[in-house]
Structure 1
């Protein structure tokens, strides 16, 4: 699929990401007394506000509008769009990530001595962040494949929908719809281990390497810059993963050394780097929990944040809500937490039950019951049709934004390495 630039799914992304750089430049020029600590605290405040706004989305519920009042109908539709863990909610989550990433780059780059990134504690924290970004790119690719699976399920649902919308509804149409729905439900209940095609044991990783290790030195990160000569990473290509690949292990590796900075930090940058690492881990963790992805067993045990951090409160709250949904998911053995996907599954089960119990010629009451579920199925197909492609574009933007930021940091490290290398 050819790459296309993500145009943004909400107004606040445009207002939050672009002005940050111009505002920060004005601050640097006109406010010489502005300290690194002030920058860090402002970044923490913005992260907290963005995730607090994200956590205000209502819990997913299935609502039926019976009132003829236009205002009530509009209100119901608006709330439904923002359901927790819905496609619209995930798009907001990716917006939040892109905004945080843009401000993070402004905080660490604008008006600073580039050599600070090679000094303690950043000489340790920066390679760790770069290592997480490599793993995040692979998760982006895996999630892309998961979205393609959902789009295939949508097509099966549309086949059933087309058959059930026929008038008069006959036995042949019901049989065709039931066949499509059975295929849909059987593929939605597959085990996580089999959620991704394993036609080959080879895997086209985002970069040539798998990461330098949690405690890699800055010099190792500089050496990794040479790998970029092979060309830019490819996203949204046809690929397969080996059965041994695990989304859960990727998340576990990203969390293994995610610890709050301690001691003095002369650069003032340790906390922003830790915050950005946390945001990256949380966003990828949420995507893995929500979208079908290979091997997610033990996902809840990988990610924990210190509760004493004020900016972490909204993220912890979201994490706990997602964990509760995940526990329900494990009991039902469904493939993911995406709201539309779960409602599609429930609707498909009810329609199969109706198909098994209907007798022809069908009674009017029975046809009315089927009509309600057909309307619900049509609504889920519409939401998937309207939301999945923009979600893929945002995921593509997240991928390329991570690549660009990683490249910029590696360039700084490489320049510092050349500048401070002793002349022989």
Structure 2
């Protein structure tokens, strides 16, 4: 072959190699941009959950935006929306456009299975949250009995006795372990509604029946202990936090970062639900690195929730749901009124009681309206996690087959 042909072939190979390097650089820059956007979006979403330092004063003729109190039902629904949005973007960053061999390489070969195991524990916690919501429904019904009794006019001793019995039962239930105070049919109600009970051996939801046998075993194993007395949601959160380590070195610019980020978001959301809705559970704070921009709003939220928790622990109760806190406070005041009741009730005292009964009635209305949608959203979260886990497992199955053929 003439020398010029050899020279041309060599130049062609250099050109092809140069194009490959440029393509790799472009892909790497695009990946870095996606990771930065993902972190920014996560940070922005959690910032919107922070309560304003000082709400803007109302202006004449203009409506001001209302911010629901921290840990209210509306706030929790926003929190779950944030998780679902983060989870959708996480899957896009992790899976879309990726070659299967990415998941064979460390540290992903270790981080992804750990993330999936955290998801299994989160399924248990969703079950516990449903259990907690059923208990809160029970409290709402007791409070409503007191409202109906004390709305009667004139207030007589029979009305007061009825209200006191309901409110005393409510306050006692709030300070007793929920596994003992829970109405007997509450667990069965949650089991029937979710279709994830232990009947039929596996107890797995219909969604899980569509995935492989191993996945079904894993999920049903998780759910089998949801209502046992030895099971603890707080211990599940602590187990989820185990080995949750921030990436270092070169891993901070690779796919290890979004896996760590999503695991952190998952643990934080589960911690918040357990601390505030899964009644009578106490769990320590989640350790998040303070040197990352996207962790700052979560740390601020955790600090604010921790402050509320310390106040509640002094009273011996643990449910931080904003509406329940108001019900507890008003219930205590009305029990004091009942203890010192004398007929007839003076005008000033009657007006004071009427204000408190109206406040209790409003909280009952908020629970009546809000608990159903919140429960449905927890159910959506549960099924989303099952689907996402199955999708990641599908990718890992492909990786396993590739690895087998290569071997």
Q: How does 1:279-294 map to 2 (within 5 A)?
A: 279-293=265-279
1:182, 1:386 → 2: CA distance? 24
Which whole-Å CA distance do the structure 2 matches of 1:58 and 1:192 have between them? Answer: 35
Q: In structure 1, what is the Cα distance between the partners aligned to 2:256 and 2:354? A: 58
Residues 1:181 and 1:118: Cα distance change in structure 2 (over 3 Å):
same
1:170 aligns with 2:153: no
Any idea what SS the aligned residue of 1:258 has? coil
Deviation sequence 1:104-136 (CA, Å, 0-9, x none) = 011111111132123211001001100100000
Q: CA deviation at 1:169?
A: 2.0
- Measure how far apart 1:242 and its partner are: 2.3
Q: How far, CA to CA, are the matches of 1:231 and 1:319 in structure 2?
A: 30
In the alignment, is residue 160 of structure 1 matched against residue 143 of structure 2?
no
Q: What is the rounded CA distance, in whole Å, between the counterparts of 2:226 and 2:106 in structure 1?
A: 40
Counterpart-to-counterpart distance in 2, 1:287 and 1:404: 21
**Structure 1 segments of 4+ aligned residues over 4 angstroms from their partners:** 31-34, 57-60, 69-72, 192-200, 229-235, 237-240
Which of residues 97, 119, 127 is equivalent to 1:111?
97
| Equivalent residue number for residue 338 of structure 1 | 321
Q: Report the equivalent of 1:228.
A: 215
The 2-side partners of 1:228 and 1:188 are apart by 37
| Per-residue CA distance 1:149-180 (angstroms, 9 max, x = gap) | 00110000111111111122222111111111
Taking a change above 3 Å as real, the CA distance of residues 238 and 402 of structure 1, as seen in their structure-2 partners, is closer
Aligned equivalent of 1:49: 44
Q: Is the 8 A contact 2:124 2:226 kept in 1?
A: no
What residue in structure 2 maps to residue 26 of structure 1?
Answer: none
- Contact kept in structure 2, 1:192 and 1:335, CA below 8 Å: no
Alignment partner of 1:305 is 2:288? yes
Distance 1:36 1:373 in 2: 57
5+ residue gaps, structure 1: 1-30, 61-66, 210-223
The Cα offsets for residues 323-365 of structure 1, whole Å up to 9 and x where unpaired, read as 1111112111113111111110000011111112221122111
Distance verdict in 2 for CA 1:385–1:295, change over 3 Å: closer
Distance between the aligned counterparts of 1:179 and 1:196, measured in 2? Answer: 17
Partner of 2:114: 128
The answer as to whether partners of 1:358 and 1:366 remain within 8 angstroms in 2 is no
2:360 counterpart of 1:374: no
1:231, distance to aligned residue in structure 2 (A):
11
2:19 counterpart residue number: none
Per residue, is there more helix in 1 or in 2? Answer: 2
CA RMSD of superposed structures (Å): 3.3
Match of 1:352 among 305, 329, 335: 335
Point out where structure 2 has 5 or more consecutive residues left out of the alignment: 1-25, 188-196, 204-210
1:321 to 290, 296, 304: 304
CA distance in 2, matches of 1:196, 1:181: 16
Q: TM-score, normalised by structure 1?
A: 0.77
Structure 1 CA distance, aligned partners of 2:64 and 2:169?
Answer: 35
1:88 counterpart residue number:
74
CA contact (8 A) 1:198 1:240 kept: no
Query: What is the rounded CA distance, in whole Å, between the counterparts of 2:99 and 2:126 in structure 1?
Result: 32
Deviation at 1:37? 1.2
CA distance in 1, matches of 2:164, 2:370: 26
C-alpha contact (below 8 Å) 1:194/1:294 kept by paired residues: no
Counterpart Cα distance in 2 of 1:59 and 1:238 = 46
Identify if the C-alpha distance between structure 1 residues 294 and 128 changes in structure 2 by more than 3 Å, giving closer, same or farther. farther
Deviation of 1:227 (Å): 2.3
TM-score with structure 2 setting the length: 0.80
Rounded Cα–Cα distance in structure 1 between residues aligned with 2:258 and 2:249: 15
User: Of the candidates 243, 261, 265, which is equivalent to residue 257 of structure 1?
Assistant: 243
1:400 Cα deviation from its structure 2 partner: 0.7
Q: Is the 8 A contact 2:280 2:318 kept in 1?
A: no
Q: What is the alpha-carbon distance in structure 2 between the residues aligned to residue 47 and residue 191 of structure 1?
A: 35
Give CA-to-partner distance per residue, 1:61-93, whole Å, 9 cap, x none.
Answer: xxxxxx9x9979x769x34xx001111111111
SS of corresponding position for 1:41: helix
CA offsets 1:278-326 (integer angstroms, 9 cap, x no match) = 0000000000000134642xx22x5111111111111111111111111
Q: How much does 1:226 deviate?
A: 3.1
Match of 1:242 among 228, 231, 234: 228
Q: Does the CA-based 8 Å contact 2:120-2:218 persist in structure 1?
A: no
2:34 corresponds in structure 1 to 39
Q: 1:172 to 1:385 in 2, by over 3 A?
A: same
Deviation at 1:262, TM superposition (A): 1.7
